[in-house]
Amino acid sequence: LKAYLIKKEAEKIETVLALFKKLNVRIAAEKAMQGYFENALGYLKTISVPDIQKENLITIANSLMIRET
């Protein structure tokens, strides 16, 4: 029974992954991420703090955007 349930779970995962791929969910998610990222950087520019003090935050944000999944 346990082996059957594990097999069924794996089939469900494969089905969902195939659906995500067919619907280009990754591309849509990456576009949304890029939009939020650009909005965040825009807001960051409006803060009345010297740019030098924002550098670490911008570096972290950039590293999050280019990380591998």
State the DSSP string of 3-19. HHHHHHHHHHHHHHHHH
With 0.75 as the threshold, say if the pTM is over it. Answer: no
**What is the tens place of the pLDDT at every residue in 2-52?**
887 888 999 999 999 999 999 999 999 999 999 999 999 999 999 999 999
In this predicted structure, what is the pLDDT of residue 45? 93
Question: Does position 69 have pLDDT exceeding 70, yes or no?
Answer: no
CA angle 65, 52, 41 (to 5 degrees): 35
In this predicted structure, what is the pLDDT of residue 32? 96
Contact assessment for residue 37 and residue 58, using Cβ atoms and an 8 Å cutoff: no
What are the helix (H) ranges across the chain?
A: 2-22, 25-46, 51-66
